[in-house]
């Protein structure tokens, strides 16, 4: 059978429509490129729609108008992937879409590239070498998350420490190696960080009067070196693409222990004393984690998902950065806190952080033909140098799985701390408003 370029392009275009049919049937759609069916291409798609109510941080404003709460509808993610085994040795992977399109976003957003990689199988599954715009990241499991199979409402972005600061939604241009040696799975990459000057949202630079607080350097970025490896005690996971599954919904029995790192020379800068010279320092990360996902009763379809990680971040003295998904406020007045506007909270900083999640998949057909439920709990415990005491962020939620991850409705409540400047040059909880909350309903479809 002769395969032409025109047939390949036409086949890829059909994959979207065929994928919608597979959505209801829980099947994978592939276009085979040879009679042996060893060469193929396939497309997948995903959409996540948020409906949300947010208690905004103190002093939040929307274009100068003070607001204490907000209601909004947003597109958290819209993605499309095309990947293929184009020869016996060559695998290609592409992904494009949009992220975080909300009421304050620029209108008519353009699709942008997330991934474009090509890799060569040097030795079966033992060693693959690849290059391109990639997400083969280091430190811990969810430094490279699969957005379509996450347990909770959103990605554990506490583990995506440089998201859109020196990367493009955790992707960079670089080279990587990955493979499996028995039960040992590994990935290493060397990449070019994007200059902070090209970030879509301005990245704060070192102020003239700031002492002993690090900021991202505006100098030409050095290479970043990353790695992550884990031992698989039970079922093996696929590593065809970099993004790691959040929950298998009882389809696998997985128990992994992992270790990873990330290092970039001269990524940060600070002053040790007033009017002193600007000093450069590296951005370094080291993390360990444990992932467990297995059936409890195969007959009933119940399953347990559990994960915990511990990360040491070193971004220079007292570094601390806020973050908040699809922020619905864009300013803050004199009543504001350290958190800044909207739903921001102190996210990444120099110090240590632990992240844990647990989910319980209830029995098959709990809701009859309407599917089943999966309640979950997530907890972040951050102990950062710039904050006087450790603080927590937690999520409580439930997934209504109508067709597994292909059609999923989630309800999530998140509670975050509000921090202010203390008397000892350390941040402390705001006594008047120690915590704020956010309630989100998300519908996810994927095919």
Q: Please, are residues 274 and 298 in contact by the beta-carbon 8 Å criterion?
A: no
SS3 14: helix
pLDDT band at 355 (very low <50, low <70, confident <90, very high): very high
pLDDT given for residue 368 in this prediction: 96
CB neighbours (10 Å) of residue 184?
12
- pLDDT tens by residue, 245-279: 999 999 999 999 999 999 999 999 999 999 899 99
Nearest CA to 180 among 137, 240, 120, 245?
240
Q: How far is CA 266 from the centre of its chain?
A: 25
22 pLDDT above the threshold of 80: no
Task: State mean pLDDT over 193-219.
Answer: 95
pLDDT given for residue 138 in this prediction: 96
Which one-letter DSSP state was computed for residue 143?
A: G
pLDDT band at 193 (very low <50, low <70, confident <90, very high): very high
Q: Give the Cα separation of 358 and 200 in Å (integer).
A: 34
Take residue 409 and report the two structure tokens written for it: 């409705």
pLDDT given for residue 26 in this prediction: 52
The overall average pLDDT reported for the chain is: 94
Taken in order 245, 283, 336, 205, is the CA torsion positive or negative? negative
pLDDT band at 20 (very low <50, low <70, confident <90, very high): very low
Q: Give the Cα separation of 282 and 271 in Å (integer).
A: 14
Task: State mean pLDDT over 196-208.
Answer: 94
- pLDDT tens by residue, 338-352: 999 999 999 999 999
pLDDT given for residue 425 in this prediction: 86
pLDDT over 90 percentage in the chain: 91
Which one-letter DSSP state was computed for residue 324?
A: -
Q: Give the Cα separation of 397 and 380 in Å (integer).
A: 15
Task: State mean pLDDT over 292-300.
Answer: 97
Take residue 63 and report the two structure tokens written for it: 């274009």
8 pLDDT above the threshold of 60: no
pLDDT given for residue 298 in this prediction: 95
- List the CATH code of the domain at 5-446: 2.40.160.10
Take residue 229 and report the two structure tokens written for it: 């490896």
Considering only residues 423 and 36, tell me which one the structure prediction assigns the higher pLDDT: 36
Q: Give the Cα separation of 148 and 406 in Å (integer).
A: 8
pLDDT band at 29 (very low <50, low <70, confident <90, very high): confident
9 pLDDT above the threshold of 80: no
pTM of the model: 0.92
- pLDDT tens by residue, 98-149: 999 999 999 998 899 999 999 999 999 999 999 999 999 999 999 999 999 9
pLDDT given for residue 27 in this prediction: 65
pLDDT band at 14 (very low <50, low <70, confident <90, very high): very low
pLDDT over 70 percentage in the chain: 94
pLDDT band at 337 (very low <50, low <70, confident <90, very high): very high
């Amino acid at each position: 059978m002769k395969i032409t370029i025109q047939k390949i392009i036409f086949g890829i275009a059909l994959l979207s429509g065929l994928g919608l049919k597979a959505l209801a049937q829980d099947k994978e759609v592939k276009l085979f490129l040879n009679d042996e069916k060893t060469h193929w291409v396939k497309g997948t798609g995903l959409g996540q729609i948020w409906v949300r109510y947010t208690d905004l941080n103190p002093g939040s404003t929307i274009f100068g108008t003070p607001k204490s709460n907000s209601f909004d509808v947003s597109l958290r993610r819209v993605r499309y992937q095309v990947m293929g085994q184009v020869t016996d040795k060559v695998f290609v992977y592409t992904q494009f879409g949009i992220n975080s399109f909300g009421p304050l976003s620029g209108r008519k957003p353009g699709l942008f590239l997330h991934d474009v990689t090509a890799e060569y199988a040097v030795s079966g599954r033992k060693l693959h070498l690849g290059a391109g715009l990639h997400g083969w990241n280091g430190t811990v499991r969810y430094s490279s998350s699969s957005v379509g199979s996450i347990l909770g409402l959103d990605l554990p972005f506490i583990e995506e420490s440089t998201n859109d600061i020196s990367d493009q939604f955790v992707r960079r241009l670089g080279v990587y190696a990955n493979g499996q040696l028995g039960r040992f799975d590994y990935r290493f990459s060397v990449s070019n960080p994007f200059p902070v000057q090209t970030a879509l949202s301005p990245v704060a630079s070192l102020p003239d009067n700031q002492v002993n607080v690090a900021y991202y350097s505006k100098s030409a970025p050095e290479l970043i070196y990353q790695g992550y490896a884990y031992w698989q005690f039970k079922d093996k996971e696929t590593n065809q693409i970099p993004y790691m599954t959040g929950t298998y919904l009882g389809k696998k029995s997985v128990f992994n222990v992992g270790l990873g790192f990330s290092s970039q020379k001269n990524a940060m800068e600070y002053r040790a004393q007033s009017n002193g010279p600007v000093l450069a320092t590296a951005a370094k990360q080291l993390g360990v984690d444990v992932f467990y996902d297995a059936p409890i009763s195969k007959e009933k379809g119940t399953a347990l998902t559990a994960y915990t990680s511990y990360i040491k971040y070193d971004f220079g003295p007292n570094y601390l950065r806020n973050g908040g998904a699809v922020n619905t406020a864009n300013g803050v007045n004199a009543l504001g806190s350290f958190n800044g506007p909207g739903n921001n909270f102190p996210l990444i900083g120099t110090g240590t952080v632990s992240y844990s999640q647990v989910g319980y998949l209830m029995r098959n057909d709990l809701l009859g033909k309407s599917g089943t439920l999966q309640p979950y709990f997530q907890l972040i415990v951050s102990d950062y140098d710039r904050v006087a005491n450790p603080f927590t962020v937690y999520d409580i939620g439930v997934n209504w799985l109508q067709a597994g991850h292909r059609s999923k409705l989630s309800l999530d409540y998140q509670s975050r701390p509000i921090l202010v400047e203390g008397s000892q040059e350390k941040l402390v909880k705001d006594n008047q408003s120690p915590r704020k909350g956010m309630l989100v309903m998300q519908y996810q479809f994927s095919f």
